[in-house]
Copies of this chain bind each other. A is one copy, B any other.
């Protein structure tokens, strides 16, 4: 009985089968692998790719973004570039009901297409985005304030890698059982009981992705593609200050969907007018069954408490912590931490904030270093990276919004600066808002200050009674407020073990003795998990089985024979 759905693969499945298979291997090995080269070099991407991407980006400025989706006729323009560049891109507006209706209408055919076809189409979307990676990188750069190379990598290649990682997990989960199984139960001397069982992968409903200002693509892609490949139409609600990267994404996704014979309304952009609260209206819509969000703890908590009809994945604020006990490479440690604090002016959800150092100092390969010397060593590393404006801005990028500037002003009142933040003139973009990082000395007793997140180029060198005391602070602050990253520096294996135990207890990923070209604020797709879901900073990890398994259900039909 029951014809139901077919799962004959689409030609796009075959076209990308090798990539998919390699990604499926990568998620079981979790060693090094990447599908999308992170170097923007012309040797990799061709001589004209960079210029073509820039032209494509500039063509959007001051105009109506080309998006043929249902809407109410209004247009929305909300972006201001941290680089001071005039954007003025105008996006077509739609109401929550219009978006949900269009998405819902697109669902049945996409569901019935089955996992093999859906993953092929999604891989083609990634391929299309990759072909337009420079355009995407420019869009990320000029909305987030990231410097170009970082925007290319984090906003382009790495975002695509994370998307592919999510696709691989979701595909593995959907196909861990066969689509059909025979069941034959012995029945004594009689004929066995025979049944044929069909297992349908059924999406949850409409999915909502709420993007953030700093990493509009990287943080949105895993949820977007995990939801889409499992059969859920996706409404993409970008941050009002970082619409363009997701508009470009939605544009190419719709293009591929149309070419593949599906309703383009499987992916819709939901640009938000000022004060409209479209995200909240969508998140509470009864048809919206999945929400992915990156942003503030306050709004993430609100979503978890109120979007009860949906499965809600949140990444929120945290207190990323470094425990410094001792080191056999003082210069390397300072240089490594200095880079972390400098990159994108510390505006990463993974940037270290609380650096815990015994007030009596630490043992190093350069002899005993006092608390002040350790703090000064880190500060000097930051200073060196930012001393030359032309080189500095290629690391710091620009300040994403006024909230960061307000915190920079506020933090001058709370402790002694080891390093003050400086205003830098951007050599290429006179309107860019650039600030170098500040490092502020605190005492362990200043709990009220360092037990909140100071998002931006702000970190604290905190004097503790001992490394044991530092670990207590790690446990209590991360245990309460969460963190996405932690690091430890020690030459003592007992300290490393104790820190690892503390990290496991509070559920934070830990990096040990990073002194080279790997940084605590960076995670590699297919190998490092981003977030754990085991503390208050995030209720899920990118990307693991738990991130994908609840995005669909299995509905079974069975019959004799």
Instruction: List the interface of chain A (C-beta within 8 A of B).
Output: 1-5, 27-32, 111, 173, 176-178, 181-185, 187, 193, 195, 197, 199-200, 202, 204, 304-305, 308, 490, 493, 496-497, 499-501, 503-504, 507-518, 524, 527-529, 532-534, 541, 544-546, 549-550, 553-560
Contacts and interface: CB of A to CB of B under 8 A. Distances in A.
A25 to B, nearest CB: 12
A490 B503 CA distance: 59
Q: How many copies does the complex hold?
A: 2
A385 to B, nearest CB: 19
Question: Which has the most chain B C-beta neighbours within 10 Å: A4, A176, A546, A550?
Answer: A546
B509 A556 contact: yes
Nearest to A198: B500
Nearest to A547: B549
17 contacts: A2-B512, A4-B500, A4-B504, A30-B197, A31-B181, A32-B185, A183-B524, A193-B518, A195-B518, A197-B528, A512-B558, A514-B560, A528-B556, A532-B556, A533-B550, A544-B554, A546-B549
A553 B527 contact: no
Nearest to A203: B534
A180 to B, nearest CB: 9
A322 B416 CA distance: 74
Question: Which has the most chain B C-beta neighbours within 10 Å: A1, A3, A176?
Answer: A1
A2 B527 contact: no
A555 B534 contact: yes
A202 B560 contact: no
Nearest to A526: B183
A546 B550 contact: yes
A151 to B, nearest CB: 20
B516 A199 contact: no
Given A3-B493, A511-B558, A517 B181 contact: no
Contacts of A524: 183, 185
A1 to B, nearest CB: 4
B516 A560 contact: yes
Question: Which has the most chain B C-beta neighbours within 10 Å: A32, A513, A532?
Answer: A32
